[in-house]
Amino acid sequence: MKKNLLLSVLLTAGVSINMFAQDAPDPAIVQKIRDEGLKNSKVMEIAFNLTDVSGPRLSGSPGLKRAQDWAVSQLKTWGMVNANREAWGKFGKGWEVQKNYAAITVPYYHAIIAIPKAWTPGTNGAIKGDVVYIKADTITDLEKYRGKLAGKVVILDAKPPVEINFTKPDASRYTDSALNVMAAATPQESGGRGGIGQRRGNFASLLALRTALSAFEVKEGVALVLSQARGTDGTVFTTNGASYRDTARAVAPELETSSEDYQRILRLVKAGIKVTMEADIKTEFFTNDLQGYNVVGEIPGTDAKLKDQLVMLGGHLDSWHGATGGTDNGAGAAVMMEAMRILKAIGFKPKRTIRIALWSGEEQGLFGSKNYVTNHFGDSQTMELKSDQAKISAYYNLDNGTGKIRGIYLQGNAPAGPIFQSWLNPFKDLGAGTVTIRNTGSTDHVPFDALGIPGFQFIQDSMDYGSRTHHSNQDTYDKLSEDDLKQAATIVASFVYNTAQRTDMIPRKELPKPSPPRTF
């Protein structure tokens, strides 16, 4: 059924069925890759080093630098060439948490679960202050608090989180029927190039209020701001509270607070019960080097005609700061490193050059990959292309958590469909067989796609990515599924192998038209 559908898509697209012939994978090579990836895997060891050992990997932070240095060193140890931290341009300030303690002390003692918002300052040492509830629907409402907030802890209204979860387990995998729907999607449904923009509602007035409030808090000398985190039961989803830019406006110290702790404090103060808090938050900014870096490394091509051509694979290495980015995206980074290791371990001498890239600045706007693409391949706004744009066959990305690969998104690239279907054939027993014409967005294949380079993200089981780990304080090594990561690395290695050896490059979509600047 899937094949028939794909065939009809193909014929519509005018693609020759002869393409199948060159794309039947060599069973002996597949077996070698499977043996190395499934039986001799190092993916958990790699993940351990990127997460537990390196710590949180916020873009620009010392933790990210530790992980990058380890990755470069490990790629070299495995025999990769040109392994280095490659600057992609100006990012901004590094930042890390160096102390994080907060508790209510009146009406009784209770230490809260909270994470400093990224790029916010710490408190002025150990502080103690009463909690003040601010009720402001407009900027002028703020006036009534003037002169009353110095040394105080500020809290605002926030809705309690959604009620007890009766319906869905924390984690899930794709069902066969969901995969069938994806496989049956038509090019008309693919939905453009994939979303790199951000939906902007009519939030201008809310934004203005927030900006005014933030400045008011600083001016009034607020000791600490509480904001309610998404998440329940001790899971705190983190964000940033200020810009990473070196020109960022000053903000007050701000704690993303577990919903249970936030709502408790809010209920008490709204009932007129005095709540006093103590806190000691120390954060450190790093401004010596404002550059952003990606890790790159290569297995050089060996075919005289093809070695200047590239196959790329990657995923972002940066994470949020509340945990160690196990699933976002320690998983993807570890899988891509492991795929490189597998290819090296089986003694592969590729025709085309294989290059891994572990991006940074992804969480702030795909900066690492976008700037890399601009630096190496061309400008997606003007569509001025560099010569290497024509020499890169494909980029493969992994960034949807720890779930195994179930297939691949074509990003509307119909001619690539039968090739990938053929490449997935030997992995159907591992649960990966779906090719969908659909787009997926929000990660580092998008800047490639935007410049007309075939860029792909695999379909992955979602696991507990949405409910528990994605950007949360619980995104740790523990949330990695070893079997899933082994499977993913094996399949990625095989895709990269096939792309490196294929007579032709991966077919391309029509080149996108120049476009005005977009917000990533």
Q: Name the residues that contact a second copy, by CB under 8 A.
A: 48, 52-56, 62-63, 66, 96-101, 103, 107-111, 113, 160-161, 163-173, 231-236, 258-260, 263-264, 267-268, 271, 273, 323-324, 463-464, 468, 473-474, 476-479, 481
Tell me which residue of 384, 385, 388 sits closest to 308, measured CA to CA: 388
Least Å distance between CB 36 and a second copy?
Answer: 23
Which residues, in sequence order, are CB contacts of 386 under 8 Å at separation 6+? 376, 377, 378
Least Å distance between CB 422 and a second copy?
Answer: 31
Please identify, using beta-carbon distances, which residue of 16 and 105 lies nearer to a second copy.
105
Please identify, using beta-carbon distances, which residue of 65 and 193 lies nearer to a second copy.
65
Please identify, using beta-carbon distances, which residue of 79 and 234 lies nearer to a second copy.
234
Least Å distance between CB 520 and a second copy?
Answer: 28
Least Å distance between CB 157 and a second copy?
Answer: 16
Least Å distance between CB 445 and a second copy?
Answer: 26
Q: With contact defined as beta carbons under 8 Å apart, do 438 and 410 qualify?
A: yes
Least Å distance between CB 464 and a second copy?
Answer: 5
How far apart, in Å, are the Cα atoms of 191 and each of 10, 144, 409, 412, 413?
A: 18, 49, 12, 8, 12
Cα atoms in the Cβ-side hemisphere of radius 13 Å centred on 253: 29
Least Å distance between CB 222 and a second copy?
Answer: 22
Tokens of 160: 């309690």
What region does 436 belong to: left with phi over 0, alpha with psi -120 to 50, or beta?
A: beta
Please identify, using beta-carbon distances, which residue of 230 and 391 lies nearer to a second copy.
230
Please identify, using beta-carbon distances, which residue of 57 and 438 lies nearer to a second copy.
57
Least Å distance between CB 283 and a second copy?
Answer: 10
Least Å distance between CB 178 and a second copy?
Answer: 15
Least Å distance between CB 216 and a second copy?
Answer: 28
Least Å distance between CB 280 and a second copy?
Answer: 8
Name the phi and psi angles at 371, rounded to 5. -70, -35
Please identify, using beta-carbon distances, which residue of 259 and 487 lies nearer to a second copy.
259
Please identify, using beta-carbon distances, which residue of 282 and 386 lies nearer to a second copy.
282
279 DSSP β-pair partners: 102, 127
Strand arrangement of the beta sheet that strand 81-90 belongs to? 81-90, 291-299, 353-359, 310-316, 392-397, 455-460, 405-409, 434-436
Tell me which residue of 466, 471, 102, 467 sits closest to 322, measured CA to CA: 471
What region does 272 belong to: left with phi over 0, alpha with psi -120 to 50, or beta?
A: left
In angstroms, the CA 367 to CA 447 distance is 9
Q: With contact defined as beta carbons under 8 Å apart, do 269 and 262 qualify?
A: no
Please identify, using beta-carbon distances, which residue of 66 and 344 lies nearer to a second copy.
66
In angstroms, the CA 474 to CA 434 distance is 30
In angstroms, the CA 329 to CA 30 distance is 26
Least Å distance between CB 46 and a second copy?
Answer: 13
Strands 405-409 and 434-436: parallel
Please identify, using beta-carbon distances, which residue of 101 and 520 lies nearer to a second copy.
101
Least Å distance between CB 277 and a second copy?
Answer: 13
Tokens of 415: 């001619």
What region does 471 belong to: left with phi over 0, alpha with psi -120 to 50, or beta?
A: left
Please identify, using beta-carbon distances, which residue of 166 and 382 lies nearer to a second copy.
166
Please identify, using beta-carbon distances, which residue of 99 and 386 lies nearer to a second copy.
99
- C-alpha dihedral, 463 to 466 to 471 to 472, nearest 10°: -80
Strand arrangement of the beta sheet that strand 254-257 belongs to? 110-111, 94-106, 276-286, 126-134, 153-156, 224-228, 254-257, 114-116
Element (H, E) at 90: strand 81-90
Please identify, using beta-carbon distances, which residue of 159 and 305 lies nearer to a second copy.
159
Q: With contact defined as beta carbons under 8 Å apart, do 101 and 280 qualify?
A: yes
Please identify, using beta-carbon distances, which residue of 220 and 254 lies nearer to a second copy.
254
Least Å distance between CB 419 and a second copy?
Answer: 32
Please identify, using beta-carbon distances, which residue of 113 and 118 lies nearer to a second copy.
113
- Interhelix angle 2-13/416-424, rounded to 10 degrees, is 150
